Amino acid sequence: MRATALALAALLLHATGALAQEQAADPTQDPNQVRAGAYVLDPDHGKITWSVNHLGYSTYYGQFTGVSARLDLDPKAPAKSRLTATVPLSGVLTGSQHLDQHLAGPDFFDAAKFPEATFVGTGVEPTSPTTARITGNLSLRGVTKPVSVDATFTQAGTNPIDRRYTVGFEGRTIIKRSDFGVSAFLPMVGDEVTLRIAGEFKAAP
């Protein structure tokens, strides 16, 4: 009986030690250690922050929420990776309900007619060990144009909250809203819109 108890205790200590080593090696900022596979964006931790010059007086900021995205990731061959994303245009947030409604209306996004913007990736070009340029086609308000996003890998590992394997990225791009037919109040309100993207992708079930 004593021998059995000692054997069980030894197994438990071994398992605990192995788990501690696994946790110590996790998370990682080394892209070579990231798991390949399919990922989906965590909607609670995936947002697009936009900014635009407002009448020359300030830089105005807002966000798109409710973004959904899928990432097929191959860290060993990044060029084979692909990203697709959908942005509900009724989900624009500025902190002003009146302005949110105006932006979703015909002057800007016309969300009743064009409820979503989509991005379909066409290529990934590594620019450093932790950065890449993601090219793709952005469709907004019935217009599709090529867009490139400068992306930075931040971290990968098991999320301590939900225990799911997670990969994080940040991105940045600048588009001209007039290219997509969003021309209201030009040039008083700026044509160039900066998009800053933050996303945590969970390994698909």
More confident residue, 5 or 182: 182
pLDDT at 1: 45
Q: Which two tokens stand for residue 113?
A: 């007619």
CB count in 10 Å sphere of residue 124: 21
Q: How many CB atoms are closer than 10 A to CB 187?
A: 10
Q: Hunting for tokens 């340029």 — which residue is that?
A: 133
Question: Which pLDDT band, with edges at 50, 70 and 90, does 91 fall under?
Answer: confident
Query: What percent of the chain has a predicted confidence (pLDDT) above 70?
Result: 88
pTM of the model: 0.84
At 137, is the secondary structure helix, strand, or coil?
A: strand
**DSSP of 84-136, one letter per residue?**
EEEEEGGGEE-S-HHHHHHHHSTTTT-TTT--EEEEEEEEEEEEETTEEEEEE
